[in-house]
Amino acid sequence: MAKIDMGRSRFKIQRRLGVELPGLGKAGALERKPYGPGQHGMARKKLSDFTVRLIEKQKVMFNYGLRESQMRNYVKNAKKIKTASWVDTMIINLESRLDNVVFRLNWAPSTPGARQLVSHKHIKVNGKTVNVPAYTVKPGDVIEISDTGAKSASYLQAKVRPRISSIPAFLTKEASGEKEKAKMVAKPLAEDIPFAFEKRLVIEYYWKVK
């Protein structure tokens, strides 16, 4: 499975985009330096319309750990659904990804950490091991972490310092011995996206994608 390039500092990514992205797992990026990175970070810049739209779609890509090709596939699939705004459908689909659900349950400190738990076969859905991070969790599905996963550094770190203080309403969880299990009780809402987000700009960026 190809990895997302995280060579750049997660702090710098968030400062450049001007927003904290919980999925990156690094809190406090804007507290000390609420401006862009680099020598000219504090200088006021006039951004082009394209750059403004680019930044908005990059927020989504980085938070959910997507490549551009993956993002476009989500856009294309969402546009096939005519019963709602395609960008709302896209966000709902992204929030339903197994790696995101694991992260939102505070079982991992970041989306990459959650993806690792899934890829290493530490997560079960309805009693069956699922190692595909993009697997779509559906309402009624029960999610569990393996005994080994519950002892992993990623899980234990998230328990001590959860990146998001509370889990979203579409998920519930309960203790199961020393570990936890959870259930998706409803479909996510587009409003469940955990960072400031301007839908219109993403719609404008991908208007040509069919």
92-136 pLDDT, tens per residue?
A: 999 999 999 999 999 999 999 999 999 999 999 999 999 999 999
| Distance separating alpha carbons of residues 175 and 187, to the nearest angstrom | 22
Q: Is 97-184 CATH 3.40.50.800?
A: no
Which residues are bridge partners to 145 per DSSP? 123
Q: Give the DSSP letter of residue 162.
A: -
Please state the domain extents for the chain.
10-82+196-205, 97-184
- Averaged confidence pLDDT in the chain: 89
Task: Quickly state the pLDDT bin for 140 (edges 50, 70, 90).
Answer: very high
Enter the pTM of the model. Answer: 0.87
Q: Which helix (H) or strand (E) holds 144?
A: strand 142-145
The CATH code for residues 10-82+196-205 is 1.10.1050.10
Tokens of 72: 């476009």
The pLDDT of 193-200, averaged and rounded, is: 94
* Domains 10-82+196-205 and 97-184 belong to one CATH topology: no
The neighbour count for residue 183, using CB atoms within 10 Å, is 16
Tokens of 95: 């929030």
